[in-house]
Structure 1
Amino acid sequence: MKKEEVPQDGDNLHEGTFKQIFYAVDNAGSYVQVSSVGWEPENVALGQAWEEVNKKVEEARRRVLAGEVSPIAYYMEKHLMEIPLLASYVGKFQWQVKRHLKPAVFNKLSDLMLQRYATAFKVSIAELKHIK
């Protein structure tokens, strides 16, 4: 791709806050770095992906409010985390994190354990316990 052909579709999901680096050929035939604010196919794909993520977050929120799962499930979806990653953040085995997804078990967690989860999700304990 030539330097002048690098896409600059300003209608992107980053709202102009992020730029990507592409390598393109300049007039001398050398590869150079060219920044781009995005291009339409990428923006469409990212938009669809984020719609799916938001649906999963909302479904997790609904399940928490219905008492089916603990708030940990909501924050895992919101932060795009899987059990292995969260377990490593809070210093627990995966099976323990799975147990903490049960509301009855979550309600008995110590303040120390709640603080570990709150730190992992970058929220307060109060926010962790009470989903809006």
Structure 2
Amino acid sequence: MKKEEIPQDESNLSKSNVKELCYATDENGNYTTGLSTGWEPKTIALENSINAINERIEEAKQNIKSGKASPIVYFMELHRMDWITLADYVGMWKWRVKRHAKPSVFKKLNQKILQKYADAFQISVAELTNYKGA
């Protein structure tokens, strides 16, 4: 795209006076950089993904309240992690982390394992174990 064609659409960036660096060509065909306040398709895609994440967070809260999931699921969603990422952070197999998402198994976890999860979520063990989906 040419430098003068860099999108300047309304976006979350333009609301905060932040601009995104883009590559474009100048009048001589050489690559250069320019600033963009936003691009409508990118804004729509970002809003959709944020809405999907927020829905998963709310679903996790409801599952904790109803006793279907442990707080691990909520904090995993809140920190935008998936099972593989969380397993890497805590240094365990994915199947084991998924098993800890069951409330009955979560209640039996020892302090060392709880601390690994708390460290991964950057919270205290008390915050992790006392979260009830509020």
Scaled to the shorter chain, the TM-score interval is 0.7 to 0.9
Gaps of 5+ in 1: none
- The letter for the 1-side match of 2:115 is Q
Cα drift, residue 15 of structure 1: 4.4
**How large is the RMSD of aligned CA atoms in angstroms?**
1.9
Gaps of 5+ in 2: none
The DSSP-based 3-state class of the residue aligned with 1:92 is coil
Which residue matches 1:123?
123
> 1:12, 1:39 within 8 Å by CA — same for their partners in 2?
no
The DSSP-based 3-state class of the residue aligned with 1:43 is helix
Residue deviations 1:75-103 (CA, integer Å, cap 9, x gap) = 11222222222111111122211211111
Alignment map for 1:1-132 (pairs within 5 Å): 1-12=1-12, 15-16=15-16, 19-129=19-129, 130=131, 131-132=133-134
Cα drift, residue 69 of structure 1: 0.7
Q: How many residues align?
A: 132
Cα drift, residue 35 of structure 1: 2.4
Residue deviations 1:30-75 (CA, integer Å, cap 9, x gap) = 1101122311121112111211111111001110111111001111
Distance 2:57 2:68 in 1: 14
Runs of 4+ in structure 1 off by over 4 angstroms are: none
> 1:22, 1:33 within 8 Å by CA — same for their partners in 2?
yes
- TM-score, normalised to structure 2, is 0.86
Distance 2:13 2:4 in 1: 22
**Which range moved further: 70-79 or 10-19?**
10-19
> 1:8, 1:39 within 8 Å by CA — same for their partners in 2?
yes
Distance 2:79 2:18 in 1: 20
Q: Identity over the aligned pairs, expressed in percent?
A: 47
